[in-house]
Amino acid sequence: MTPALTNTPILETERLILRAPRPEDYAFWEPFYLSRRARFIGGGSDRGTGVAWRAFCHVAGMWVLRGFGSFVVQTKTCDNPLAMAGPWHPADWPERELGWTVWSEDAEGTGIAREAAEAARRFAYEVLDWDTAVSYIHRDNTRSIRLAERLGCTHDAAAVAPGDDDLVFRHPAPEVIAP
């Protein structure tokens, strides 16, 4: 018997399913994390597999420690993960965060990160009852900054960031985005 994470929420959007991480996702995470595309989140082509492994274990384990975590994003027709999006709250994080990473280069430019981040934000506001949310983004990560802006975030220069090179983007409040 392999211990499995159960009773986790599943979010659906027009094209996507957001679900908790599974062991099979690691085969997709590792090449992403060890590529240049992960350089703003602790990965990169100069990192070893052990670093990628521990980072994935952290993502999966947070679901148990916090009761929530980052969702793996797939399409409705294929279980292969394309991205991750969701609430992120390690110890001593200045605030509760909404994070996203697009694992598959082919998925870039398709709008799935935005679709997933909006669903994750609704979940954080409506289910976790957050009254505000931020996204911490490296100042050189222009793609992610553009997405934050499309999501209605504004740069909050007064808020504390976890790293010296991170900018804080504050999401619109729940009452602003409510349908």
Partner 1 sequence: MTPDFRIPELTTDRLRLRLPRMDDFDAYARYRASERSRHVGGPNSRADAFSMLSSIIGQWQLRGYGRWIVADKTSDAPLGVVGIYHPDDWPEAEIGWTVFEEAEGKGIAYEAALATRRYAYDTLGWSTIISLVAPENTRSAALARRMGCRQDGVFSHDTYGDMPIWRHPAPSEVSE
- Ramachandran area for residue 109 (φ above 0: left; ψ -120 to 50: alpha; else beta): left
Minimum CB separation of residue 65 from partner 1 in Å reads 5
d(CA 161, CA 56): 23
d(CA 27, CA 80): 10
How many residues can be counted in the chain? Answer: 179
Binding mask 61-100 toward partner 1 (x if CB under 8 A, else -) reads: xxxxxxxx---------------------xxxx-------
d(CA 124, CA 132): 9
Q: Which of 13, 26, 75, 96 binds partner 1 (CB under 8 A)?
A: 26
Q: Which stretch binds partner 1 (CB under 8 A): 47-55, 75-83, 102-110, 144-152?
A: 47-55
Whether 29 and 56 have beta carbons less than 8 Å apart is answered as yes
Q: Which stretch binds partner 1 (CB under 8 A): 7-15, 76-84, 110-118, 153-161?
A: 7-15
Whether 85 and 123 have beta carbons less than 8 Å apart is answered as no
| Nearer to partner 1 among residue 20 and residue 119 (C-beta) | 20
Minimum CB separation of residue 6 from partner 1 in Å reads 5
7 counts as binding partner 1 under rule CB under 8 A: yes
**In terms of Cα–Cα distance, which of 120, 59, 54, 57 is closest to 85?**
120
d(CA 45, CA 32): 9
113 counts as binding partner 1 under rule CB under 8 A: no
| Nearer to partner 1 among residue 18 and residue 60 (C-beta) | 60
Cβ neighbours for 154, distance < 8 A, ≥ 6 positions apart: 169, 170
Q: Which stretch binds partner 1 (CB under 8 A): 52-60, 77-85, 139-147, 148-156?
A: 52-60
Q: Which stretch binds partner 1 (CB under 8 A): 51-59, 113-121, 143-151, 167-175?
A: 51-59
| Nearer to partner 1 among residue 8 and residue 141 (C-beta) | 8
SS3 state at 24: helix
For partner 1, the binding residues (CB under 8 A) are 1-9, 20-21, 23, 26, 48-50, 52-68, 90-93, 162
